[in-house]
């Protein structure tokens, strides 16, 4: 079964037009050339799809379908497999007969091959004993063509260096794959495989998703399977995690007042968990009423969509052969997202910053494909434009992209929108948080004070190290906070550090 439903393909949301060919009828030579080109996957986009029985309308499907007559289906399938045997090395696409609008169509998934480059004859019809000339077919954009000498060199080089996320991970086993993660992904992506996921084995599901290879003795897990469907992908690929550091004072890196969090698990879940943490802990909205207008202006300190696209891009384009994780650094006035390495050398950074750089191929094509299926990533070469568009619509400064001459790293900086300056934001939070405490406190409590007091109130018997763990700060930081609260005569420790408890001294303040 082909994982991507034909209905999903036809609506044009998930797969780019140049990765799909619609054919009114069965044209053997042209179809074999297309299959061969998708197998060669010159643009590194994970192959493509062919639908026979639907007419092409300038790259889009013309519905309702023409369809294939029932009595012609068997002949078509037999000829298809016969002519696929002419592809060298042999390549067979996945095939389904799909009923759509009451008509039957032939649906082919031509995934990127592993054993190429592939070549096929110009004409699949030939006379007996006639020498059959074969060519290397490619589809760099929307045009199918025979590879030129320079392209042929790239094609051979490509197959000599299979993308890392498509390589077999020799340390991973089927038992490392969690079926729960597979099910979550299939449901979120609205895959056809979700319909019978409970009756399919892990091996069958992985093979259908091309996250594993069949061998004579079992199944080999590819790196994409490790990244997407294991509990701890960093066990196999040490850089497969997201680390967040939130600096809470103006001293930034020189301060001990910071929060650290690590997000692990399947790659798509890491991103969603990190974004959820940012959305609930950091993102704030302002509503400004405009005189003479019914609708108020609404804007955010950081627009969620821009952060989502930036983080997804960082996770998609980092190298998982490098052990450094994707990093999120939150400062008082900006958020930095860092990944290693930076963009490929051939990418013009000036065009990149304007959202005009066109990517010829992805560093991690499979990650990009999986992300698109669950709406974590835009179509190719449109992610930067989405970030620019979202920030502009929110009234935020343009993003900043930084790398070095060798492209060792990539730092994307999203700056806070005007109107959310740190001091004002802190004051707003303090005013809201202080509602739970007496108004006649002689000293203004900071947000850090209130946060610490709230944790103490929830568990008066907690020890210093437990407080530090709960708040996600270092022991030295929590010690300094406790000293500050004691100096303000707000809390005290009753009994010993080991067996005592904390007391909030509210009664003395309200007398």
Domain boundaries, the chain: 6-161, 174-232, 242-415, 434-510
Q: Lowest-confidence range among 331-335, 408-412, 420-424?
A: 420-424
Query: pLDDT tens for residues 478-487?
Result: 888 888 888 8
Residue 506's pLDDT is what? 54
CA separation for the pair 205, 182 (Å, rounded) = 8
**What is the model's pLDDT at position 127?**
57
The pLDDT confidence band at residue 67, using thresholds 50, 70 and 90, is very high
Given this model, what pLDDT does residue 161 score?
77
Task: Quote the CA–CA distance of 324 and 348 in Å, as a whole number.
Answer: 25
Calpha distance 426→431 (Å, rounded): 9
Burial of 237 (0-12, 13-18, 19+ CB in 10 A): buried
Calpha distance 310→376 (Å, rounded): 10
**What is the chain's alpha carbon radius of gyration, rounded to the nearest angstrom?**
29
Residue 67, by phi and psi: left (phi above 0), alpha (psi -120 to 50) or beta?
Answer: left
pLDDT tops 90 at residue 27? yes
Most confident of 122-136, 258-272, 470-484: 258-272
CATH of 242-415, one of 3.40.50.920, 3.20.20.110, 3.30.565.60, 3.30.300.10: 3.30.565.60
The CATH code belonging to domain 434-510 is: 1.10.10.10
Q: Where are the alpha helices (DSSP H) in 104-167?
A: 149-160
Closest CA to 160 of 119, 120, 118, 117: 117
* Beta-strand relationship, 326-330 and 297-300: unpaired
> How many CB atoms within 10 Å of residue 347?
15
Q: Which fold, 6-161?
A: 3.30.950
pLDDT of residue 442 exceeding 80 = no
Position 35 confidence tier, pLDDT thresholds 50, 70, 90? very high
pLDDT tens digit sequence for 155-209: 998 887 778 898 888 899 999 999 999 999 999 998 888 888 888 899 999 999 9
């Amino acid at each position: 079964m082909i994982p991507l439903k034909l209905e999903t393909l036809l609506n044009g949301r998930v797969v780019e037009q140049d990765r799909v060919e619609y054919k009114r009828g069965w044209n053997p030579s042209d179809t074999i050339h297309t299959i061969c080109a998708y197998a060669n996957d010159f643009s590194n986009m994970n192959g493509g799809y062919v639908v026979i029985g639907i007419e092409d309308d300038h790259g889009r499907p013309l519905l309702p379908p023409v369809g294939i007559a029932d009595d012609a289906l068997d002949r078509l399938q037999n000829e298809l497999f016969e002519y696929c045997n002419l592809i060298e090395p042999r390549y067979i696409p996945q095939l389904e007969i799909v009923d759509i609008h009451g008509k039957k169509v032939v649906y082919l998934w031509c995934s990127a091959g592993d054993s190429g480059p592939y070549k096929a004859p110009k004409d699949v019809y030939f006379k007996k004993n006639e020498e059959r000339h074969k060519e290397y077919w490619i589809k760099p954009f929307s045009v199918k063509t025979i590879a030129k000498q320079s392209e042929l060199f790239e094609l051979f080089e490509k197959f000599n260096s299979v993308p890392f996320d498509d390589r077999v991970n020799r340390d991973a086993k089927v038992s490392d794959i969690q079926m729960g993660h597979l099910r979550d992904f299939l449901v979120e992506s609205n895959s056809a495989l979700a319909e019978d996921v409970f009756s399919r084995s892990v091996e069958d599901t992985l093979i259908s998703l091309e996250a594993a290879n069949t061998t004579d003795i079992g199944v080999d897990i590819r790196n994409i399977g490790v990244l997407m469907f294991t509990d701890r992908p960093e066990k196999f690929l040490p850089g497969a995690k997201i680390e967040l550091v939130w600096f809470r004072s103006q001293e930034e890196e020189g301060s001990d007042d910071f929060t650290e969090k690590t997000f692990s698990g399947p790659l798509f879940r890491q991103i969603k968990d990190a974004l959820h943490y940012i959305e609930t802990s950091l993102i704030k909205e302002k509503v400004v009423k405009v005189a003479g207008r019914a609708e108020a202006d609404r804007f955010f300190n950081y627009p969620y969509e821009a952060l989502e696209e930036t983080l997804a891009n960082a996770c998609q384009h980092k190298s998982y052969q490098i052990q450094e994780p994707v990093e999120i650094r939150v400062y008082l006035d900006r958020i930095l997202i860092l990944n290693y390495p930076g963009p490929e050398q051939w990418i013009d950074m000036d065009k990149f910053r304007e959202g005009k750089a066109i990517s010829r191929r992805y560093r991690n094509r499979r990650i990009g494909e999986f992300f698109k299926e669950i709406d974590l990533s835009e179509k190719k070469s449109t992610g930067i434009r989405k970030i620019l568009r979202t920030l502009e619509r929110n009234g935020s400064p343009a993003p900043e992209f930084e790398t070095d001459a060798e492209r060792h790293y990539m730092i994307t900086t999203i700056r806070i929108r005007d109107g959310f300056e740190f001091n004002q934001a802190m004051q707003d939070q303090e005013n809201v948080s202080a509602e739970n405490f007496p108004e006649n406190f002689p000293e203004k409590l900071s947000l850090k004070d209130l946060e610490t007091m709230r944790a103490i109130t929830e568990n008066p018997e907690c020890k210093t190290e437990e407080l530090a763990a709960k708040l996600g700060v270092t022991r030295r930081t929590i010690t300094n906070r406790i000293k500050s609260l004691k100096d303000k005569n707000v809390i005290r420790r009753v009994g010993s550090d080991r067996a005592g408890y904390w007391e909030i001294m509210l009664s003395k303040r309200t007398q």
